Structure 1
Amino acid sequence: MRVMVIVKADKQSEAGVMPSEELLAAMGRYNEELVKAGIMQAGEGLHPSSKGVRVHFSGSKRTVVDGPFAETKELIAGFWIWKVASMQEAIDWVKRCPNPQMGDSDIEIRRIFEAEDFGEAFTPELREQEDRLRAQIEAQSKAG
């Protein structure tokens, strides 16, 4: 199964405070372990919400709201995409992670939907489209 491992933002990450060289090195070592174990599929840090926008949907209307956003505890500072055998395996790996923030921090783990999770609504035509799009994405990432 695939999971998204979400590093929650804090006041420092939202203020744009960059991680120390020590934390960058520790995260680099941790990411190497994840890659060697065949778990990590992607992982990135995110700029603070002050550099982001939200698009609010209400029927056919779209409203763009510029950051920063008030609720730091609801914001994301970074993420990984992992392929693991179970949620327990993901938990075990997160417990080994260096603390991603200077103070207390939270990391959330969420399962990513797979095609079979959608049941009959995910028709053979939709499955074929999904497979085609994934192949195009992979080809583009190799070319770019």
Structure 2
Amino acid sequence: MSKYMLIMRGTDETNAAMMANLDEIMASTRQFIEDMMKADVLVAAEGLDDPRQGVVVDFGGEAPVVTDGPYGETRELFGGYFLLDVATKQEAVEWARRVPAVRGSKIEVRRVAEADEVPQGGESNGQV
């Protein structure tokens, strides 16, 4: 088994569409979570608060700079995730295809690296 993160990515437009159909989306999402729990693949699921409530710490200069709100010129924002423990990448993709999302949204599927795959002491194995 491997862990995969299904990363929900949206835009201002998809977020507005989701809010316009919030009751329906939430009901579908609750059912989706229940289905994943029954299949014993769900590890975690979280949605994120409005990006305007966050801050960005930018390490582009000599000292980190903290700014309010989302990234400048943002086209897509990370809105939340589902963390699954499944047998294959294809199984993770099949779950991602079932996420209740509005038209224009995207779900990024990424495998979570195991501890032994993280480079140690300057090593690089190219898998992270």
So what's the TM-score if we normalise by structure 1? 0.71
Mapped contact 2:6–2:109 kept (Cα < 8 A): yes
Correspondence 1:29-40 to 2 at 5 A = 29-40=31-42
Would you tell me which structure has more helix in proportion to its own residues?
Answer: 1
Deviations 1:47-80 (A, max 9, x none): 221111111124762110111333132x111111
Indicate the residue corresponding to 1:65 in structure 2.
67
Q: CA deviation at 1:18?
A: 6.7
Higher strand share: 2
Taking the aligned partners of 1:37 and 1:45, their CA distance within structure 2 comes to 21
Equivalent pairs, count: 118
Q: Is the 8 A contact 2:10 2:104 kept in 1?
A: no
Q: 2:55, 2:67 within 8 Å by CA — same for their partners in 1?
A: yes
Q: Are the aligned partners of 1:14 and 1:49 in contact in 2 as well (CA < 8 Å)?
A: no
Matches of 2:47 and 2:20, distance apart in 1: 10
- Compared with structure 1, are the counterparts of its residues 112 and 19 closer, same or farther at alpha carbon in structure 2 (3 Å cutoff)? farther
Are 1:78 and 2:91 an aligned pair? Answer: no
Residue aligning to 2:6: 5
Q: How large is the Cα RMSD of the aligned pairs?
A: 2.3
Runs of 4+ in 1 over 6 A off after TM superposition: none
Q: Distance in 1 between matches of 2:104 and 2:17?
A: 16
2:28 to 23, 26, 29: 26
- For structure 2, which runs of at least 5 residues remain unmatched after alignment? 122-128
Q: Larger Rg: 1 or 2?
A: 1
Letter in 1 for 2:56: R
